[in-house]
């Protein structure tokens, strides 16, 4: 299934539930589904885009931007999640590298888009999410007479669904291709490994183009709602948790530390929280312990990579909270436990699986491994030469208790 198929399924199960909320707009599933299908019909018929062509959604966290992502996928087009916070020079380089065909953007980025027009010759279609401009059509004007039901072709599970740029933290940045099958496995693993349920509200504060948005897709697949903030502003996050009774939120460690340092954090009602999911970099055991004391047994830490979307490894409350309620600091110092859908081993440079306690490189075999590096068969062959995919290029040893422990 496409990830937009999971959205459609949720719309059938719970049509009157809210699915997306931002500062200006809110949508129930019943309202959002026809808009998503209208976007799909517009991209394929009015823009003339063909299956497999690439669409970048260039926007801060906004409900209509997320609907455009779903519409892109519904139309069997390839989504490129581009971070609105990147330098425009970086994004222009990425647009050209991935040969983007259509840019859907927010008008707050109009000056940057003017530069894109001049320097990105493959982009033939520019659509503005929130108003018309001299050179771009307004999305609402384009979709107004489009059919509100998109008739999808039979899904090819191996067809390209998303292209992404790696962070470049373990070498030069590359392009990564995920097909419908690998992304569906990612969605399934979110629902299997983390507490996401129908009627839950997930607060999106980190960029929707990164892990926070990916986690949001899993929440929508479960029938939940995304309340979107334009960015991480501690006062706004605290207010949302307190007033709107948020169930889940994805945060990088620095954002978590910012919340813990807020003078009001111990005065608000956090009882609605079921999961604070931490990713992007490790959390110190001491701050993890502090967060558990403040928020309760709701802290989850996840690991993965662009090449194999999180969660490949999860540290959950049942792993680090002892029967007497105390915290197991050895587990807090670990990365966590391999998820049920991932086979993880430690390997030496010759491809030999190492016994417990030995240092080496993590190799992962699971359904959410990428299809390939974009236009880079040599790099693809290098990471899969032993029949698996070397993903987390960190030196580590296995913790004899239950988990994987990082070595500095």
Question: Looking at residue 360, what is its pLDDT?
Answer: 83
Q: How confident is the model at residue 387 (pLDDT cuts 50, 70, 90)?
A: low
d(CA 211, CA 237): 17
- Report the percent of the chain where pLDDT is more than 90: 77
Question: Looking at residue 361, what is its pLDDT?
Answer: 81
Question: Looking at residue 90, what is its pLDDT?
Answer: 95
Q: How confident is the model at residue 397 (pLDDT cuts 50, 70, 90)?
A: very low
Average of per-residue pLDDT across 170-178: 79
Average of per-residue pLDDT across 339-357: 87
Q: Is the pLDDT of residue 320 over 70?
A: yes
3-state DSSP helix/strand/coil % of the chain, to nearest 5: 35, 25, 40
Query: Residues 328-358, buried b or exposed e (16+ Cβ, 10 A)?
Result: eeebbbbbbbbbebbebbbbeeeeeeeeeee
Q: Is the pLDDT of residue 364 over 70?
A: yes
187: number of Cβ within 10 Å? 22
To the question of domain 3-16+28-155 being in CATH 3.40.50.980, the answer is: yes
Question: Looking at residue 91, what is its pLDDT?
Answer: 96
Q: Is the pLDDT of residue 391 over 50?
A: no
Average of per-residue pLDDT across 13-37: 97
Q: Is the pLDDT of residue 403 over 90?
A: no
Q: List, for residues 112-164, the tens digit of each pLDDT value.
A: 999 999 999 999 999 999 998 878 999 999 999 999 999 998 999 999 999 99
Q: How confident is the model at residue 195 (pLDDT cuts 50, 70, 90)?
A: very high
Average pLDDT, the chain: 91
Average of per-residue pLDDT across 210-231: 96
Domain with CATH 3.40.50.980 in the chain: 3-16+28-155
Which top CATH class is 176-406? alpha beta
Q: Is the pLDDT of residue 389 over 60?
A: no
Average of per-residue pLDDT across 166-172: 60
Q: Which of 51-60, 253-262, 393-402 has the lowest mean pLDDT?
A: 393-402
Q: Which of 125-129, 329-333, 356-360 has the lowest mean pLDDT?
A: 356-360
Can you give the chain as a three-state secondary structure string? CCHHHHHHHHHHHCCCCEEEECCCCEEEHHHHHHHHHHHHHHHHHHCCCCCCCEEEEECCCCHHHHHHHHHHHHCCCEEEEECCCCCHHHHHHHHHHHCCCEEEECHHHHHHHHHHHHHCCCCCEEEECCCCCCCCEEHHHHHCCCCCCCCCCCCCCCCEEEEEECCCCCCCCCEEEEEHHHHHHHHHHHHHHCCCCCCCEEEECCCCCCHHHHHHHHHHHCCCEEEECCCCCHHHHHHHHHHHCCCEEEECHHHHHHHHCCCCCCCCCCCCCCEEEECCCCCCHHHHHHHHHHHCCCEEEEEEECCEEEEEEEECHHHHECCCCCECHHHHCCCEEECCCCEEEEECCCCCECCCCCCEEEEEECCCECCEECCCHHHHHHHCCCCCEEEEEEEEEECCCCCEEECC
Q: pTM here?
A: 0.92
Q: Is the pLDDT of residue 191 over 60?
A: yes
Q: List, for residues 69-97, the tens digit of each pLDDT value.
A: 999 999 999 999 999 999 999 999 999 99
Question: Looking at residue 172, what is its pLDDT?
Answer: 58
153 neighbors 51 (Cβ within 8 angstroms): yes
Q: How confident is the model at residue 346 (pLDDT cuts 50, 70, 90)?
A: confident
Question: Looking at residue 400, what is its pLDDT?
Answer: 28
Domain with CATH 3.40.50.12780 in the chain: 176-406
């Amino acid at each position: 299934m496409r990830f937009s198929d999971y959205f459609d399924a949720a719309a059938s199960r719970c049509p009157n539930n809210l699915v997306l909320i931002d500062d200006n707009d809110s949508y129930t599933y019943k309202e959002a589904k026809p808009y998503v299908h209208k976007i799909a019909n517009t991209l394929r018929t009015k823009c003339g885009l063909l299956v497999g062509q690439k669409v970048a959604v260039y926007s801060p966290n906004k409900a209509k931007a997320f609907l455009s992502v779903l519409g892109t996928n519904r139309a069997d087009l390839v989504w490129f999640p581009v971070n609105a916070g990147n330098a425009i020079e970086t994004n222009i380089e990425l647009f050209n590298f991935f040969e983007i065909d259509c840019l859907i953007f927010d008008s707050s980025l109009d000056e940057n888009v003017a530069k894109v027009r001049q320097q990105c010759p493959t982009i033939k279609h520019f659509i503005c999410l929130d108003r018309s401009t001299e050179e771009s059509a307004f999305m609402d004007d384009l979709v107004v007479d489009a059919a509100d039901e998109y008739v999808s072709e039979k899904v090819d599970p191996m067809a390209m669904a998303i292209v992404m740029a790696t962070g470049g933290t373990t070498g030069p940045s590359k392009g990564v291709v995920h097909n419908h099958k690998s992304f569906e496995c990612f969605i399934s693993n979110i629902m299997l490994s983390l507490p996401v349920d129908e009627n839950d509200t997930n607060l999106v504060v980190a960029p929707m183009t990164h892990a926070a948005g990916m986690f949001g897709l899993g929440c929508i697949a479960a029938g939940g709602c995304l309340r979107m903030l334009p960015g991480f502003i501690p006062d706004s996050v605290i207010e949302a948790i307190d007033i709107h009774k948020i169930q889940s939120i994805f945060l990088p460690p620095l954002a978590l530390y910012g919340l813990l340092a807020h003078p009001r954090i111990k005065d608000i009602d956090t009882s609605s929280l079921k999961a604070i999911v931490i990713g992007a970099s490790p959390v110190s055991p001491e701050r993890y312990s502090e967060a558990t004391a403040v928020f309760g047994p709701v802290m989850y830490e996840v690991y993965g990579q662009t090449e194999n979307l999180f969660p490949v490894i999860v540290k959950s409350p049942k792993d680090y909270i002892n029967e007497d309620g105390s915290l197991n600091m050895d587990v807090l110092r670990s990365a966590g436990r391999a998820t049920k859908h991932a086979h993880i081993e430690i390997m030496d440079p010759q491809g030999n699986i190492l016994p417990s306690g030995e240092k080496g490189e993590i190799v992962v075999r699971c359904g959410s491994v990428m299809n390939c590096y974009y236009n880079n068969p040599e790099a693809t062959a290098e990471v899969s030469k032993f029949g698996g995919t070397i993903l987390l290029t960190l030196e580590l040893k296995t913790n004899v208790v239950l988990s994987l422990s990082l070595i500095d």
